[in-house]
Amino acid sequence: MTYKGEVFMVDGPRLLANTPLGEAVVQTWGQKLGRNDLLTLQKRLLNAQRTKCDTDDDCPPTKNNHSCRRPGSCEAGARGAPEARGKCLEGTCALLSEKTHVYDIANRPWLLPYIAERATGGDRAFLVALIRHASAEDPDDRPSFAELVGAIDRRVDG
């Protein structure tokens, strides 16, 4: 966030293999990699592997400073998205997506909570409600990043 109140996002979610950009990466790198390397690229970089699960413990977490799964691995007050900690939803491990980063924006104390803490009146109430919406347990219940930014833009312009 700049001193003028401008907010920028400098990180993005992992690519999904079934998106146009993900397909382009696989197509480009696939020509230079062997079959096993390509499978590794699809599973790790593109987060394209669907894993069956019975419990959250069956699902792999992301790195500690992202999942906040281990005590002390994240800054005080931070919570990792359920899918970053490893989340079993309806028998399948939830994949990372832009909704994971929407959760991060709402649950890292130096991002949206930092701005909300300094806001007053109706703006503060609006941001707290937005944080609550972006913190939904199920990624399908969260706004997309575009919807999140759109809501803020409408508030600013309205």
pLDDT-flagged residues of the chain (< 70): 1-3, 5-49
Question: How much is the pLDDT for 82?
Answer: 93
> In whole angstroms, how large is the CA radius of gyration of the chain?
18
Question: How much is the pLDDT for 95?
Answer: 84
Question: How much is the pLDDT for 46?
Answer: 47
Spatial separation of the C-alpha atoms in residues 45 and 13, rounded to whole Å: 10
Question: How much is the pLDDT for 2?
Answer: 62
Residue 73 per-residue DSSP state:
S
59 to 36, 56, 84, 86, 94: CA distances (angstroms): 22, 5, 9, 5, 8
